Amino acid sequence: MIAPQLASLLTTITGQPPAVRIRAWDGSEAGPGHGPTLVVRDPLALRRLLWSPNELGLAQAYAAGELDVDGDLADGLRRVWRQVRTTGRPKLTAAHRLRALRLAGKLGILGARPAAPETQARLTGALHSKERDRAAIGHHYDLSNAFYQLILDEETMAYSCGYWRSEEPDYSLADAQRDKLDLICRKLDLQPGMRLLDVGCGWGSLTVHAAYHYGVHVTGVTLSAEQLAHVERRVAEHGLEGRVDVRLQDYRDVHDGPFDAIATVEMGEHVGARNYPVFTAALFRLLRPTGRLLVQQMSRGRVAPGGGAFIEHYIAPDMHMRPVGETVALIEDAGFEVRDVEAIREHYVRTVEAWLETLDKRWAEAVDLVGEPMARIFRLYLVGGALSFAENRMGVDQILAVRPMLEGDSGMPYTREALGVPGV
């Protein structure tokens, strides 16, 4: 009877009974009699946890199919986080480790560290060097354009938080993404003929929208070859060749400013903690005086931060998130004047849930495109992400800033109504 022994070990470590039921490979079960069940399919999962007794070990076992959840995955994660909030993160003592090793010996699972699943990122080189950043972006975004077209709305291909302005049943994810793009363009006060720099342009949602609907000249930069090819096709389809210049280029290598406006949508998380001042200095250098900057960026909560080892090893290697106040301070340190911050955290819950609904409905297609291990990783990522935003462990904000004149003139309107910021 393996499951009761595992439940007893967990109770000793956490001080609480397991938050979910446990089923071991021998068929034994222990824990709550209702709700989701954590299924340990392979003893190798426990060996991984001996070597990495944390979120990474769990993620590796889940990616490898050695661990699974029978029932509602979101409910299972919610129960675990509720327990963590109540008791705090467990601290492994020497006594805990000794008991775990004794149980592992008894179960015959001691051995060398298992190899990481192939879906785990394997980056080399100096942290946030141009070469490593290119590899980090490629790990996630070069996975498959067809896969992202399946998950995201095909019209915008926006892989960022939408802006949900309606509760009507026929209001779709594509509508929310279009409303988000319009909101950004209005906040930047884009006018025909202006030059916009889209840093981390993704699959071209903002690049194409701003050029087509607002008549601006857009320079979009990305480190993903797959994204570049997709944007080039979209530009040709919309007849925007004379208005859009999309490049496979690092933001540090952009030197053809000044631009009238700059947007960077959920790209700042990828530049790294130490490089963020380099990032904001580059944006300041590239923006003309009185030009506007719009940063849409995810943040970590201070008390119970989201993100962590799973996202950083499987989804977005080398990413760094901080509380929104720290990001605002870094933008100000570069010389910008921050004029508005709009929190849109709840909008991300709806956005991620829409992506997850599509993934579940089209699961067989997703597996055909990227394989079951990667599809499982994305499902865990989306379920965990929606929960992190819902529980305020992660947030997302639109930060509007301006590069003021040396004399202090910002060129900005006096009121938020004139600025085009909703909700006033």
pLDDT of residue 124: 62
357/244 same-domain check: yes
SS3 content of the chain, % helix, strand, coil (to 5): 45, 15, 40
* Any domain includes 123: no
Residue of 95, 407, 384, 141 lying closest to 270 (CA atoms): 141
Mean of pLDDT values over 123-127: 63
64/175 same-domain check: no
State both tokens at 176. Answer: 């929310």
pLDDT of residue 96: 87
78/186 same-domain check: no
Residue of 226, 80, 55 lying closest to 140 (CA atoms): 226
269/234 same-domain check: yes
Query: Binning pLDDT at 50, 70 and 90, where does residue 57 land?
Result: confident
* Any domain includes 115: no
Query: Binning pLDDT at 50, 70 and 90, where does residue 55 land?
Result: confident
Query: What is the greatest pairwise CA distance in the chain?
Result: 76
Residue with the two structure tokens 């008791």? 87
Q: Per-residue pLDDT for 139 more than 80? A: no
Q: What's the pLDDT tens digit per position in 74-120?
A: 898 898 888 888 877 778 888 888 898 898 889 898 999 988 877 66
pLDDT of residue 43: 93
pLDDT of residue 188: 97
pLDDT of residue 415: 84
pLDDT of residue 288: 97
The model's pTM is 0.89
* Any domain includes 391: yes
pLDDT of residue 266: 95
Q: What's the pLDDT tens digit per position in 21-37?
A: 999 999 999 989 888 99
Distances (CA, A) of 280 to 254, 285, 318, 328, 401: 13, 9, 18, 11, 11
Query: Binning pLDDT at 50, 70 and 90, where does residue 138 land?
Result: low
* Any domain includes 124: no
214/92 same-domain check: no
Q: What CATH number is attached to the domain comprising 217?
A: 3.40.50.150
Q: How many domains does the chain have?
A: 2
pLDDT of residue 304: 52
Query: Binning pLDDT at 50, 70 and 90, where does residue 133 land?
Result: low
7/57 same-domain check: yes
Whether the CB-CB separation of 188 and 196 falls below 8 Å is answered with yes
232/89 same-domain check: no
* Any domain includes 20: yes
164/304 same-domain check: yes
96/189 same-domain check: no
Sign of CA dihedral 212, 229, 183, 189: negative
Q: Which of 61, 76, 107 is the last residue of a domain?
A: 107
Q: Which of 75, 107, 139 is the last residue of a domain?
A: 107
102/150 same-domain check: no
Q: Per-residue pLDDT for 424 more than 50? A: no
Amino acid letter, 388: S
Look up the domain containing 27 and give its range: 2-107
% of the chain with per-residue pLDDT over 70: 90
Residue of 317, 258, 248, 252 lying closest to 278 (CA atoms): 252
134/41 same-domain check: no
Mean of pLDDT values over 258-282: 95
150/287 same-domain check: yes
% of the chain with per-residue pLDDT over 90: 57
**Nearest-angstrom CA–CA distance, 293 and 286:** 10
Residue of 212, 345, 322 lying closest to 276 (CA atoms): 322
Q: What's the pLDDT tens digit per position in 326-380?
A: 999 999 999 999 999 999 999 999 999 999 999 999 999 999 998 888 898 889 9
* Any domain includes 116: no
Mean of pLDDT values over 273-294: 96
